[in-house]
Every structure is written in structure tokens, then in C-alpha cells.
Amino acid sequence: MNEDREEKKERIKELLRRIDEEGEIGELKEEFKDLLGSISPLEIPMVEQEMMEEGVGAKEIYRMCDIHVELFRESVEDKFDLGDLEPGHPLKKLYLENEEITKSAKKLGLRVKNFEKGGEIGREFAELGQLAGTLNKVGRTHYTREEMLLFPYIERRGITSVPEVLWRKHDEAREGVKDLLGLLDRDNWDGKPPVEEIGEKANKVSQAMIDMVFRENNILYPTVKELLSEGEWLAIHEESGQIGYFEIEPKAWSPDAEPVQPYEISEGIKESQVEKLPQEIKGMVDLDSLESDDYNPAREGDHHLDFGFLNDTELTEIFRTLPIDVTFIDSNDRVRYFSGGERIFPRTKTVLGRPVQKCHPPSSVSVVNSILNEFKAGNRDEAEFWISMGPKFVHIRYFPVRNDEGDYLGTIELTQDIKDIRELEGERRLLDWD
Amino acid sequence: MNEDREEKKERIKELLRRIDEEGEIGELKEEFKDLLGSISPLEIPMVEQEMMEEGVGAKEIYRMCDIHVELFRESVEDKFDLGDLEPGHPLKKLYLENEEITKSAKKLGLRVKNFEKGGEIGREFAELGQLAGTLNKVGRTHYTREEMLLFPYIERRGITSVPEVLWRKHDEAREGVKDLLGLLDRDNWDGKPPVEEIGEKANKVSQAMIDMVFRENNILYPTVKELLSEGEWLAIHEESGQIGYFEIEPKAWSPDAEPVQPYEISEGIKESQVEKLPQEIKGMVDLDSLESDDYNPAREGDHHLDFGFLNDTELTEIFRTLPIDVTFIDSNDRVRYFSGGERIFPRTKTVLGRPVQKCHPPSSVSVVNSILNEFKAGNRDEAEFWISMGPKFVHIRYFPVRNDEGDYLGTIELTQDIKDIRELEGERRLLDWD
């Protein structure tokens, strides 16, 4: 349907103009519904975006969104069948979270109606603040798990536009909640609360989040349910905990499979899978011309580390590039490694294999030994020093290095000039880069 | 001679008591010289140290030092024959530096005499300050090269007491110069300059440094000249530049040898070498019972990096222990490695191999790309951001990683909570540890 998108956009604009002229939707609503129904729900955000860029006003876009969501809710049944998913399955957990998100978002919408009708203002604010705080967690749990754990698997299969569109919508929702929290913060008020703005923003956030639940339950989840193997879900499951969940207690899950990471997948979508994918995704993505991603980050001669792959050159150069000087002594107190580059305290190859005690002034050896003894005994996990050295403010830290079992492998010394770091002020974010 | 050290110490103490009683050295001087002459010059600092610990007063010790240095100068000729050393040979450079140290130290001593005789005070202070500033560089050049480059080679051969004694004396000299600089600093004066103290300190520093030159030229240097091979000297030569020199222009040196690091030496001192060692070292070290050090820091399965050895477990755990989160993308913008541990921004295995552009919110991709383009083009070498995140002050830095030829290998992202670092005050030195 991509080829007639321009035409449809023109018809949408025409309808929006007429609604504007007539002052109400009235009988144009049905016509609008028919038109929107012919566009994939996943493509609509892109159409909205394009129309914004072409100068269509925000008010018109929002009106279109409203009609679209209404249409969407009416037309789709809950097609997503979770019947065969165990409680700990990552997809089941996402689905359960969506129920929680819906509940909180609906409460927010209801609360706004109270609020607009003029409820007890202090109480309403407290409730709105609490709900906004809860919904603020959606972005860093539910959405982040999708972005970091789920999306890579569909990207490998060549579907890159869907993750991108969804991520944009996630960010809009995140931004909306943050704005709402800002509006609710008394410190930002100019004397009295911006009641109208708060109402509008809360309504928008509620809508956006419910809208996203619909998109996910009816398009994204049926798609990934069809595409991902048990091993892929297991890999997602294993990594989920460190990101966290939204308002659910995660259940354990132990499928009979080995975890499969996205980089281990190089095949695209199978013919047999295409048939079973939801209609909406077929409207948005040309499944016949997808280019799967077969990039392998592991190469011959690489070291396979816990979290990735590096070769000797990369290792050497990464350590050289670090703005921290690293020295490592092994469990026998012998110097085993130090990083290159312009070091604060020079290190020479001649100290490799030397007992660390012999690398220090004799008068400080007893301190060196007592630090190491504390590390070896497991009594301490850090020793920290700082000194001024000309223009430098030198921060020196020692940390014991232990393996998974907690056995002492040695100690690292880190040296860093933190003068500039100490003088940073305010913030500089990625988008401030120039 | 170690077995009769106690006896000799008692005789020294007795002599010092008598000098004290009689108020002057007089005829006791010759007796004292005979006694000190029977102790190795290198052992005398240890005897001094022991006597201090046994409660002999500093004044007596200093008197003994004076007599000792006088004796030493009289008795030793310049036995050290540099005839066959090329100008760029590390030992030749150490020797040439000793000439410069002697000159500066003698000047300091002469200047103090002027000063004590009541020269033009302002001018004398300026001169003293300049000389002390020059001598202050001895510690971090000449002495540091010996401690870090030369000592490991004799330690491997089992001679560990000599480096330790010399390092203690180095530190005394370093401390002396630092104290002198402090005394000369007007900010530390209580109204008027501490003339007498300055004179004493300057004299002591001058003496100590000249004393050290004697020790080195007559004991240390003949010893290492006999023991070290051409390859060992080459290794020292290659590492010398990064530490630096005292008041000499280093000459190039290209011997026909491969560098040999201390850890590659596991044999002790050969019978044929023992004969040629200076008498003084034989007096101090029991050459027959030396235990050479054959510890090999490299093990099977290690990665041989530019500066040392690490195995996969150590690498993984070192990166996990670093208080900085590291992520590495390769030259194709793919995530190739990230460090484990408790990260500020979680990283999951599912992003390995993922294009970095897909790991960021779509709205920031253009910034990500422009940073990478600047790195790839060689226009920039850092991109730095900082944000407040709850109690954390998060510092995010990107650095291009290049190989020796300057080719772009990828980019590292470093993330660090610098809140605590920003709040450090004053100093905490190694010896402050508790």
C-alpha cells in the first residue's frame, strides 16, 4: 500500500480541512474511519509524522489520532492467543505488564475527568502524581526490554522499520509522562497550578500508552510469537532481570533449550511463517524483500569473553585509550599487566613479573601489604587515595579482582586525573553535541 | 661480616658516647675511621637505621654519617671504568647524570656557605631555590630509572637488599629536597626566613646527594656492569625515555641485541661474575646463598598483550571490576563487547552484533552518526557528556580506538558515576590508609 500513501495522505488532509470548516466531525467520521482503516495501524504514526513535517497543525493531528485509536479499538479483537505460553515466558510477562499499563493509564484518564470536573484539587494532584510516577516506570522496564531484548531479533530478520516506529512512540510516551511530572511539580508553578495543561497532558499520556498496548498486543506480539524460537526466548528471559519489570512478579522459566543470541541468527523469515503473521505487519513491511542481517561480531582469533569478543590488538588499544591507567597484579602479588598510553605514573616493561612490594618505596611496603591482606581475606573491596600533582588531581584506586566463585585473582590499580571531571557543571546531553 | 655487626655497632655506639663526652672528635676520628672502614659502605645505612631504632640520637647518627662519607671519599678512587661504554649506553647516561648531580649538589653546598656568611639574602634565596628546584628533578628521573629499570635485574639475581637500601636513601634525598623547598617558600615563613634551618637542610641535601653518587659510581654501577647483558641494557634503554633524564641530552643507542626483560632471566649470578664484583658488595651480600627469582608472569593460554599477560577469566573480571562501564563497537558500528558488573545503563547480550544506531532512540541517531563520522575522519578524539540521574552524576565519554598506524578500529563508550569523585577534598596518601 506504500505506493498510494501520498494519495491517502492528501485525502486525510482534505477531510481534516472539512472537519475544521464545519466545526465538528459529524458525518465525516465514518468517511474518516474508512480511510484510516485502509492504512496499517503501524504506518499511521509515520503518516502523522510526515503530515506534521508538511505543516499540518498539531490539533488536526491529535484529532486524527483520536479517531484512529477509536477505530482501532472497535475493529480489533484480542487476537493474541497466549494459551500455550507458560507464566514465566518473556512474552507472557510482556502481556501481563500490558494489562497493568492499561489499568494505570485508564486510572489516569478517569482521574483527569474528576480533576476537570473540579474535584478536591489537592487530592487530585496527589493521585495524578502517583499515577504519573507509576507510568514513568514503563519506559525503563517494559519499553526498554522490548527495545533491547526483543527488537534485535526482528531486526536480524530484516524488519527494522517496525522497531524504529515503536521506539519513537515509546519515546513520545516517555516524554509525555516526564512533561506531566514536570507540570505537577509545584516548583514549576507560576503561583497557581496549570490545571488545563495538566488535564490535556494527562489525557494524552493515558491515550498514548493505551494505544501502545493495542499496537503491541495485536501486532508486535503475534509477530514475535510466530518468529522467535524457544532458544531466543530463553536468551531474552536470561537478560530480562537486569532491566526489570513493570508491576509484575516475574515467574521462573526453564525451557529445554540453549539460549540463542540475535547475532547467532542469520536466516530471514520462513515462507511458512509469513502466512501466520498478522495482517497489519504485512501491510507495513514488504515481507518478500526483507534483507536479513548475518553480521557475525565474532571473528577468528578472537577472545570469547563473558560479554563479547575482542582480539589482542583491540584489547591493547582499548586499554591504551581508556582515560584511566590500569595495572594488574596476580594473586602472587606479581605485576602481570599494565595498560599503555600516556600514563600519570610511568610503567615500564621491566616491572612485569616483579613483586608489587618491590615496586613501591620501602617505607610504604607495609601499607601495600596490609591492603593486599585485607583484599585477600575478603575484608575490603576498595582502597582509595587522592593527591594533587601540579595541575592534576590524581585519583588512585585499588580493587580486588575475584572470579565467579569469589576466589582472589589479583588486584587492579587505577589511576585517573579527575581534575576536569571535578569541574563539570550542569548537564550536557547527547543531543547537545556540536 | 654480618655475624660481627652487633659487636661493631656496640663499638660505634661507645665511640659516639665518647665523642659526646669529650665535646669534639679529636683523636677519636682515626679510630672511628678504622672501624667504619671495616663495614661495607652499603651496609652503613642499615647500621644507621638500626641504631636510630635502638634510640641513638639523630645528632650522633649524623656525626657518624659525616665521618663515614669523608672516609669513603678518601678511600675509594674512581674505580669504575667506562672506557668501553658507548655514549648512548644506559649506564653511561646514569654516570653522566651523576656528574651533573655532583655539580648541582656541590653548588648548593657552596651557596650555603655564602648564605651562612651573610651574603645578600634575597639573591642567596633565589639561587638556593633554583638549585633545590634542579635537584628536585633527580628523584623522578635518575633515581626512578634506577628503581624501575635497573633494580629489577639485580633483584631477579637474588640481590634484593641493595635495591632496598638504595631506595631508602633515594627517598631520604627526595624528602630532603622537598623539605628544603618548603623552607624556602615565603608562604611558610613566620615573618622572617628560618635562615639556620635552611642552611642545615641545604647542607644535608648536598651531602646526601653527593654521598649517593659515590655509592652508585663505586658499588652499584660496577656491579650491574658486570652482571647485565647487552639485551638487558637494551630493554632498559628502550624504557628510559618515558621516565626521563637529569640534565643530560640522551644519545641514541642501537646495540646488536634483542631486549631482555627481567622476567626472562631465571639464572643467578655466575661464578665467573662473582670474582669481578666490587669488594663492597661482597661485604654486604652473601653471594653464595642468593636465591634467584624465576617467577614467570606468562602462563599457558595467556593473551600476550603489549604490556603483559592476561587470560580470559582475568580479562572478564578486570572489566567487571572497573568502576567504569565499557562498551566497544567495531569499525562497522557493531557492538562487539561490553563489560559486566553492575552497570549504570544495563547492557544485554542481545545487543552483541547489533548496529549501534539501533541501540539508541531513533531521535538521537543522527548525533550518534555525526560523532562516529568525526572519529572515523580523524577530526575528533573525544565526545563527552554528563547528566544528573537521581543521586548519580553520570559521565559518559566516547573515544575512537585506533591502532599503531592510526587506523580506526572502533569506538569505546565509557560510563562512570562521578558523584563521589567530585566530592573528594584535600588529599589521602598511601600512608594515610587505615
Which stretches within B117-145 are classed as H helix? 121-138, 144-145
Query: Which value does ipTM take for this structure?
Result: 0.82
B122-180: pLDDT as tens digits: 777 888 999 999 999 999 999 999 999 999 999 999 999 889 989 999 999 999 999 99
Amino acid at site B251:
K
Kindly determine whether residue A388 and residue B361, on different chains, have CB atoms separated by under 8 Å.
Answer: no
Find the angle CA(A202)-CA(A207)-CA(A209) to the nearest 5 degrees.
95
Looking at residue B83, its pLDDT comes to: 61
Q: Mind telling me how many Å the CA of B226 is from chain A's nearest CA?
A: 19
Q: Are B45 and B165 in contact (CB under 8 A)?
A: yes
Q: Mind telling me how many Å the CA of A65 is from chain B's nearest CA?
A: 21
Kindly determine whether residue A433 and residue B235, on different chains, have CB atoms separated by under 8 Å.
Answer: no
**Burial category of B171 from C-beta neighbours within 10 Å (exposed 0-12, middle 13-18, buried 19 and up):** middle
**Burial category of A203 from C-beta neighbours within 10 Å (exposed 0-12, middle 13-18, buried 19 and up):** middle
Looking at residue B52, its pLDDT comes to: 67
What are the cell numbers at A99? 494489562
**Closest residue, chain B, to A324 (C-alpha):** B324
Looking at residue A366, its pLDDT comes to: 93
Residue window 331-350, chain A: list those with CB within 8 Å of chain B.
Answer: 332, 334-340, 346-350
**Closest residue, chain A, to B314 (C-alpha):** A409
Q: How far is CA A91 from CA A213, A226, A284, B119, in A?
A: 13, 11, 22, 89
Residue window 269-298, chain B: list those with CB within 8 Å of chain A.
Answer: 295-297
**Closest residue, chain A, to B236 (C-alpha):** A350
Kindly determine whether residue B314 and residue A410, on different chains, have CB atoms separated by under 8 Å.
Answer: yes
**Closest residue, chain A, to B239 (C-alpha):** A348
Distance CA A66, CA A211 (A): 10
Residues in chain A with CB shorter than 8 Å from the CB of B168 are 361-363
Which residue in A409, A430, A432, A434 has the most chain B C-beta atoms within 10 A of its own C-beta, making it the best mutation to test that interface? A430
Distance CA A147, CA A383 (A): 38
Residues in chain B with CB shorter than 8 Å from the CB of A309 are 336-337, 352
Looking at residue B77, its pLDDT comes to: 45
Looking at residue B372, its pLDDT comes to: 97
Q: Which of B124, B73, B75 is nearest to B102 (CA)?
A: B73
Q: Give, for B305, the enclosing helix (H) or strand (E).
A: strand B303-305
DSSP string, A58-127: HHHHHHHHHHHHHHHHHH-------TT--TTSHHHHHHHHHHHHHHHHHHHHHHHHHHHTT--HHHHHHH
Looking at residue A1, its pLDDT comes to: 42
- Give the other-Cβ count within 10 Å of A398's Cβ: 23
Which residue in A349, A403, A428 has the most chain B C-beta atoms within 10 A of its own C-beta, making it the best mutation to test that interface? A349
Of A308, A314, A414, the CB nearest to B352: A308
Kindly determine whether residue B262 and residue A340, on different chains, have CB atoms separated by under 8 Å.
Answer: no
Q: What is the pTM of this model?
A: 0.80
**Closest residue, chain A, to B419 (C-alpha):** A422
Q: Are A52 and A191 in contact (CB under 8 A)?
A: no
Residue window 196-255, chain B: list those with CB within 8 Å of chain A.
Answer: 235-236, 238-239, 242-243
CB pairs under 8 A between A and B: 311
Kindly determine whether residue A348 and residue B148, on different chains, have CB atoms separated by under 8 Å.
Answer: yes
Q: Mind telling me how many Å the CA of B319 is from chain A's nearest CA?
A: 9
| Below-50 pLDDT ranges, chain B | 1, 77-78
**Closest residue, chain B, to A298 (C-alpha):** B336
Backbone angles phi, psi at A308, to 5 degrees: 125, -160
Amino acid at site A115:
F
Looking at residue A198, its pLDDT comes to: 92
What are the cell numbers at A414? 587505577
What are the cell numbers at A366? 607495609
| Below-50 pLDDT ranges, chain A | 1, 77-78
Residue window 121-160, chain B: list those with CB within 8 Å of chain A.
Answer: 144, 148-149, 151-153, 155, 160
Of B359, B427, B433, the CB nearest to A387: B427
Q: Which residue, chain included where needed, has cell 633545590?
A: B132
Find the angle CA(A98)-CA(A101)-CA(A102) to the nearest 5 degrees.
85
SS percent in chain B: helix, strand, coil, step 5: 60, 10, 30
Distance CA A238, CA A188 (A): 41
- Give the other-Cβ count within 10 Å of A246's Cβ: 23
**Closest residue, chain B, to A411 (C-alpha):** B318
User: Positive or negative, the Cα torsion across B303, B304, B307, B309?
Assistant: positive
Q: Are A75 and A175 in contact (CB under 8 A)?
A: no
**Closest residue, chain B, to A145 (C-alpha):** B348
B303 shares contact with chain A (CB less than 8 Å): yes
In a 13 Å sphere around the CA of A53, the CA atoms on its Cβ side amount to 7
Q: Are A411 and A321 in contact (CB under 8 A)?
A: no
Q: Which of A280, A273, A245 is nearest to A162 (CA)?
A: A280
Q: Are A333 and A346 in contact (CB under 8 A)?
A: no
β-sheet bridge partners, residue A94? none
Residues in chain B with CB shorter than 8 Å from the CB of A374 are none
